[in-house]
Structure 1
Amino acid sequence: MGLFTKDVHSMNDLFTHQLKDIFYAEKRILGALPKMIDKASSPELKEGLRSHLEETKGHVVRLEQVFQMRGITPATVKCPAIDGIIEEAEDVSGDVDNAQVMDAAIAASAQAVEHYEITRYGTLIAWAKELGHPECADILGMTLSEEYAADDKLTKLAEERLNKQAA
């Protein structure tokens, strides 16, 4: 089901489509984070990515809860946006020889992922409220808070250490 196809007839259909989109994204992120961890050299960056990998597993579980609350079988729809962000991260990290520059690139790539997730979760929360599903909004809100926190940690680490070491 494409976003602007005949399969989206209502706001509920749109909500379901975006829920499947972020479910796909979270699963792709679960596959990408271990590769980022392996390429990182900074102990703080590795630990931050490991921590977020564990959080991401919880994000998948929460999304499954939202699907269940809505009476929908958990499913994904291909998300070209997250595929592109992850592909770009892999391309950039494949071209870097300097470990400190690699760490800065990984942090920037991880932030691009976080920013995508922040937009999706924010939208889903607004739509869940509009559709009269505050319990879904609450669950999605827990994940949104973790995404903001991960982005803040990456910003602090990049600005205080990684970018300076790379420069």
Structure 2
Amino acid sequence: MAKTILIPTDFTVESLNLAKIALQNNLDKGEKLNVILVYGQWVSTSINELLFYSKAKVLEKLETEEFKTSCQMLLGKYENTIVQMSIDIFSGTNQNAFENYLLGNKVTEAYISPNYSFKLKNSSSFDLTPYLNKSNIPLIKVNWDTSTVLGQENSKDELSALFFTHGQMAH
């Protein structure tokens, strides 16, 4: 049976470094993985917006081509490790809702980076890190060097950024 890991994302290529590190860690262990990339965004309370709400359309607006391509690259590189990689939105309003989300998705561990600041896409977006810090699942904290590669000061969202960032486990 595959292990399910949760990785928060902000739909930037840089945020996929957590996925890359998680996959590499589990590749060494030979485990099969289900990977859930999740974004925090509250749903509107407007009845009109709720009637026409579509998670697929919201995700389509949030995902960039670079992000999609980077996900495909990860799927290709770790095809023997990844059983399934999905992208989801958590829209709960409290810790209990988040715990139920983890339970419903059978999440066994999560990865976060204490030194990474998520780039929220809109005013209804939120960082999932506080929820993950309070959860009961094993939480792996990863620090990676977020400094720019020489000559790539404005390329944080380029595909090469995913494969030229070095990660290490936090203490």
TM-score, normalization: structure 2?
0.28
Relative contact order (alpha carbons < 8 A, sep ≥ 6): 1 or 2 greater?
2
Structure with a larger share of its residues in strand: 2
TM-score, normalization: structure 1?
0.29
Structure with a larger share of its residues in helix: 1
Higher Cα radius of gyration = 1
